[in-house]
Amino acid sequence: MADFKLKPLYSADTIADTVRRLGEEITRDYQGEELLLVGILKGSFLFIADLCRRIDVPVTIDFMRLASYGSETQSSGIIEFRKDLEMSIRGKHVLIVEDIIDSGLTLQSLLHHLREREPASLKVCALIDKRARREVQMEADYVGLTMDDGFIIGYGLDYDERYRNLDGIYIAEMD
């Protein structure tokens, strides 16, 4: 088990305010449309649950599971598709819901994969945009919070499948 010092980064209240703002922006932009939210498991599960309740247009939800971290604190750069969508996205407005954009490699691979399925539109909503390790030109359409660098846990974000249940987001500083 890793020994961390947890340094608060974003409180539960800050996260709730951010999710509310994102929901308002998405509602405004998709007025009169149906929207398919695609949550990227496992990290986005809390975020998508809160976000969908803040969006006031008809939504459906599906999930994909990709992996690039393993038990490490940095992306391995190798993207694995572990669970695909259960519904077609052809002709649908699709919003990918990500917990964090880090290197951008996972998201770049995912966008390429989904564009081939001919959605009406394809956009990205990220709770956290971490820029320090960006390896590809990648911008989310909706960004909740930004940070420079550091390994973070909580609110769905994990270290070796643990700490997802924390209600805030913390920088995990190794002892």
3-state secondary structure of 9: strand
Q: What are the tens digits of pLDDT across the range 9-62? A: 999 999 999 999 999 999 999 999 999 999 999 999 999 999 999 999 999 999
On whether the CB atoms of residues 8 and 170 are closer than 8 A, the answer is: yes
Residues forming a β-bridge with 136: none
Give the structural domain span for 94: 4-174
Give the CATH number for residue 26.
3.40.50.2020
Number of domains forming the structure of the chain? 1
Per the confidence metrics, is the pTM higher than 0.85?
A: yes
Distance between CA 2 and CA 8 in Å, rounded?
A: 18
Identify which of 155, 132, 160, 147 has the alpha carbon closest to the alpha carbon of residue 4: 160
Point out the residues that are catalytic. 102
